[in-house]
């Protein structure tokens, strides 16, 4: 017995494309150009508290260490927007390109998971700065490993170097690193360095999905150009003359899942950022878009 899946058609694409366009437009309008926390917001309270913390030389931290979290978060969310925007263009121009759609959805999901982790509410400013240090150092370490494999010297023009980050966050701010039994760096002040898979797993769990059977379990093996994955995008069909040909295949459920992932990647981290900055009206508008999205993603 052969199982057949309904293929995506023009009506499906138009419905999903329109709903995603509305969400993209709202996020672009509502993501602030100025990430300064508003009066009496959680973000402002954190900045005030951490500004008084002492550096290793006895001087106060000032506003910069925690304030740096906000533009970094903005960069992560802008990365989500860029990937979802590319997804949106593909959805209209090549809706059967499931391999490309899934790759963009995975990239959006990974950036969203980092922003979600960095912007966790009610952890306090010091812990948030430690999380930024963890993300930046982990990224810098991977960059240096890549440069080493390529036989190139790491250059600061392509990102911060590990030693520079250690000198600032540990040497100047006085944050305490976490070390393994073999004295390897594993995190900072109870903020453990996490890989992409673990960050996405936490993100999905906290928004109510089961990562073991959810989209990321699929995307982890599916966004690579393995032969089985390429074949998944085609159906083997025998013509009346007996010739076997391959035709593009795009099950509506596959495209629907990718749109849903993009919507989650856009909505949840942005809502968390707006809440931290004290922009409640913007959060409300995002909330009201959830039902139209759910309706658009209802499978036929």
**pLDDT digit string (tens) for 239-293?**
999 899 988 888 898 898 899 999 999 999 999 999 999 987 777 777 777 667 6
**Calpha distance 222→54 (Å, rounded):** 48
For residue 7 the two structure tokens come to 């293929």
Per-chain mean pLDDT for the chain: 88
User: Which of 28-32, 48-52, 140-144, 263-267 has the highest average model confidence (pLDDT)?
Assistant: 48-52
Output the CA angle 179-181-185, nearest 5 degrees.
25
Domain spans, the chain = 13-194+250-296
At residue 299 the predicted structure's pLDDT band, cuts being 50, 70 and 90, is low
pLDDT at 18 over 70: yes
The tokens describing 56, both together, are 């290793």
pLDDT tens, position by position, 74-108: 999 999 999 999 999 999 999 988 889 999 999 99
What is the number of alpha carbons within 13 Å of residue 287 lying toward its C-beta? 8
Pairing of β 177-179 and β 185-188: antiparallel
Read off φ and ψ for residue 30, nearest 5 degrees. Answer: -95, -25
Closest CA to 105 of 217, 261, 268, 294: 261
Q: How far apart are CA 138 and CA 255, in angstroms?
A: 32
Q: Taking Cα atoms as reference points, which of 145, 135, 118 lies closest to residue 188?
A: 135
The CA-atom distances, in angstroms, between 205 and each of 111, 166, 194, 202 are 16, 31, 15, 5
- Among 223, 237, 279, 240, smallest CA distance to 108 is for 223
Cβ atoms of 55 and 172 closer than 8 Å: yes
The token duo for 2 is 């052969």
Its pTM stands at 0.90
User: Does the CA dihedral 210-253-79-46 come out positive or negative?
Assistant: negative
CA distances from 278 to 36, 45, 208 (A): 10, 11, 24
224 closest CA partner among 62, 42, 97, 102: 102
Res 214 pLDDT > 80:
no
The per-residue DSSP string of 259-273 comes to: HHHHHHHHHHHHHHH
Does residue 2 carry a pLDDT above 50?
Answer: no
CB atoms within 10 A of CB 278: 17
Label residue 44 by pLDDT band (50, 70, 90). Answer: very high
Would you say residue 4 has pLDDT above 70? no
**Terminal C-alpha separation, the chain:** 22
């Amino acid at each position: 017995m052969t199982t057949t899946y309904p293929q995506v058609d023009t009506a499906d694409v138009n419905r999903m494309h329109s709903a995603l366009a509305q969400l993209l437009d709202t996020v672009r309008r509502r993501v602030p150009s100025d990430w300064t926390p508003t009066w009496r917001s959680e973000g402002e309270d954190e900045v005030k508290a951490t500004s008084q913390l002492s550096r290793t030389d006895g001087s106060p931290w000032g506003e910069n260490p925690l304030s740096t979290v906000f533009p970094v978060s903005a960069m992560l969310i802008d990365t989500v927007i860029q990937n979802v925007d590319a997804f949106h263009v593909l959805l209209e121009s090549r809706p059967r390109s499931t391999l490309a759609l899934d790759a963009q959805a995975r990239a959006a999901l990974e950036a969203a998971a980092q922003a979600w982790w960095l912007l966790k509410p009610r952890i306090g400013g010091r812990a948030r700065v430690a999380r930024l240090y963890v993300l930046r150092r982990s990224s810098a370490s991977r960059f240096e490993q890549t440069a080493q494999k390529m036989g190139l010297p790491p250059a600061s023009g392509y990102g911060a170097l590990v030693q520079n980050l250690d000198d600032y966050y540990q040497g100047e701010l006085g944050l305490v690193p976490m070390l393994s039994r073999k004295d390897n760096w594993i995190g900072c002040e109870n903020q453990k360095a996490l890989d992409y898979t673990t960050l996405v797993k936490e993100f999905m769990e906290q928004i109510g999905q089961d990562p073991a059977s959810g989209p990321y379990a699929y995307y982890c093996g599916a966004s690579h150009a393995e032969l089985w994955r390429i074949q998944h995008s085609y159906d083997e069909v025998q013509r009346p003359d007996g010739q076997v040909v391959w035709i593009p295949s795009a099950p509506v459920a596959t495209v629907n899942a990718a749109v849903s992932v993009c919507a989650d990647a856009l909505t949840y981290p942005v809502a968390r950022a707006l809440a931290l900055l004290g922009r409640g009206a913007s959060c409300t508008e995002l909330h009201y878009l959830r039902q139209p999205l759910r309706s658009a993603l209802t499978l036929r």
